[in-house]
Amino acid sequence: MLELKDLSKAYKKKTALASMGLRIEKGECIVLCGGNGAGKSTMIKLLTGVENPTKGSVVFHSKQKRPFAYMPDQMIFPSELTPYEILGYYGQFLNKNKESIKFVLEKTGLWSERNQKAGGFSKGMSQRLNLAQCLLADTDIYILDEPTDGLDPYWVIQLKKIIKELKEKNKTIIVSSHIMRDAIEIADKLIILFNGKLIFYGTLNQVYKEYRCTSLEDAFLSIHKSEQ
């Protein structure tokens, strides 16, 4: 579904992401893990085309004109517009009808607030509207950058259910997260980055075997120690 071919990014003399190559299969949920400065944000920018790679390419194997939908880590919506108006505007470009807009607003718990101005939304409500605009695209691949940021425990659980539903529809999901508990619960495979380098790509069980541990926390500690 998605290939990274010799992908790298450098800013002047600083390498933000070292050369990497990997293949992501259809219907997988991939969690991108790493601490601050690991390269997660850079990788997301390259996947979404926000920035161009210094070398290599990202190849989407999709017949859709719009192969992916993107939920950025923060999205600022026009404060004077309502969720219904905002999604209605996006829907014009995506060729989505009113039923589709209602569906994603209900899915994200915002249908009852559809006519409230977004300027009065809490961080969690804004994040759910961010999720709604991503889901509206209804595409093959979903790229979610720190999607649980600002969500309360109930909506973290609901987000995981939504990801499970997308997988059941054979969608591919890429999630950037620094919360290891979330990675354990939703990932088919993990991409672990450290200082801009791809350290590991595989299943959770493969992580445990590779680093001779029984928790993701211990694996990260082992990686941090070995890469210093």
CATH of the domain at 197: 3.40.50.300
Residue 208 neighbours by CB under 8 Å, 6+ apart: 214, 215, 219
Look at residue 151 in the predicted model and tell me its pLDDT: 94
Look at residue 181 in the predicted model and tell me its pLDDT: 79
Residue 147 lies in a domain: yes
Please tell me whether residues 143 and 200 are part of one structural domain.
yes
Residue 86 lies in a domain: yes
Please tell me whether residues 125 and 220 are part of one structural domain.
no
Q: Does residue 202 sit in helix, strand or coil?
A: strand
Q: Are the C-beta atoms of residues 190 and 31 closer than 8 Å to each other?
A: yes
Q: What is the mean pLDDT of each run of 10 residues along the chain (228 residues)?
A: 93 91 94 88 93 94 87 93 96 94 97 96 96 95 94 95 95 89 87 92 93 88 80
Which residue type occupies 137? A
Residue 40 lies in a domain: yes
DSSP code, position 39: S
Residue 6 lies in a domain: no
Look at residue 138 in the predicted model and tell me its pLDDT: 87
Please tell me whether residues 221 and 147 are part of one structural domain.
yes
Q: What's the Cα-to-Cα distance from 3 to each of 6, 28, 47, 107, 213, rounded to whole Å? A: 10, 13, 10, 30, 29
Please tell me whether residues 144 and 200 are part of one structural domain.
yes
Question: The domain containing residue 133 runs over which residues?
Answer: 76-138
Residue 128 lies in a domain: yes
Q: Does residue 74 sit in helix, strand or coil?
A: coil
Please tell me whether residues 61 and 99 are part of one structural domain.
no
Residue 47 lies in a domain: yes
Give the Cα separation of 137 and 90 in Å (integer). Answer: 9
Please tell me whether residues 215 and 167 are part of one structural domain.
yes
Give the Cα separation of 180 and 153 in Å (integer). Answer: 15
Residue 2 lies in a domain: no
The number of domains in the chain is 2
Look at residue 134 in the predicted model and tell me its pLDDT: 97
Please tell me whether residues 100 and 190 are part of one structural domain.
no
Please tell me whether residues 145 and 218 are part of one structural domain.
yes
Give the Cα separation of 196 and 63 in Å (integer). Answer: 31
Give the Cα separation of 199 and 34 in Å (integer). Answer: 10
Per DSSP bridges, beta strands 2-11 and 55-60 are antiparallel
